[in-house]
């Protein structure tokens, strides 16, 4: 099998790649969910904290809103996360563009399920490491855009 150079890829090639990535991400999230009995949070948070250690970011003592804004900028190719209101010890956010939601939708999987929960635990881990404070998000609403409540301790 000959692999085409990146410039020779068609829209169909991208669709096939998206479906394969969706399948792999779903298989990974479902396996973790089954093995952990639904308690995927610790796995996602550890992965997120590890990822944050690799990011070339030094934020000092950022607020939650500042941290989310920086991460949204870094992740803008696949995600659009914005703070809609700052609340005591947390923030309400809106997730517009979401690569994970697109993966779920394209493969017929439910949004807000195991894959979304694993991703949000991963995101929590990144924010946790950057802020050096425990962070927990809760999916409040899923749809074409999602509402997420994020709390810090």
Enumerate the domain spans of the chain. 11-152
SS3 sequence, 63-129? Answer: CHHHHHHHHHHHCCCCEEEEEEEEECCEEEEEEEEEHHHHHHHHCCCCCCCHHHHHHHHHHHHHHHH
CB 30 within 8 A of CB 110: no
**pLDDT grade for 84, boundaries at 50, 70 and 90:** very high
Q: What is the pTM of this model?
A: 0.83
Q: What is d(CA 55, CA 143) in angstroms, rounded to the nearest whole number?
A: 30
Percent with pLDDT over 90 in the chain: 44
For position 150, what pLDDT does the model report? Answer: 94
Among 7-16, 56-65, 108-117, 118-127, the least confident range: 7-16
CATH code at 11-152: 3.30.1380.20
Q: Which residue has the higher pLDDT, 4 or 110?
A: 110
């Amino acid at each position: 099998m000959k692999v085409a150079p990146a410039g020779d890829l068609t829209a169909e090639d991208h669709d096939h790649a998206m479906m394969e990535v969706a399948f792999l991400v779903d298989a990974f999230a479902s396996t973790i969910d089954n093995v952990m009995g639904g308690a995927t949070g610790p796995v996602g948070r550890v992965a997120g904290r590890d990822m944050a250690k690799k990011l070339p970011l030094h934020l000092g003592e950022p607020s939650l809103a500042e941290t989310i804004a920086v991460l949204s900028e870094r992740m803008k190719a696949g995600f659009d996360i914005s703070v809609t209101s700052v609340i005591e010890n947390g923030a309400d956010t809106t997730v517009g563009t979401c690569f994970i939601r697109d993966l779920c939708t394209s493969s017929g999987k439910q949004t807000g399920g195991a894959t979304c929960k694993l991703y949000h635990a991963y995101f929590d881990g990144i924010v946790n490491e950057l802020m050096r404070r425990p962070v927990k998000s809760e999916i409040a609403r899923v749809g074409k855009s999602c509402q997420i409540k994020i709390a810090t301790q």
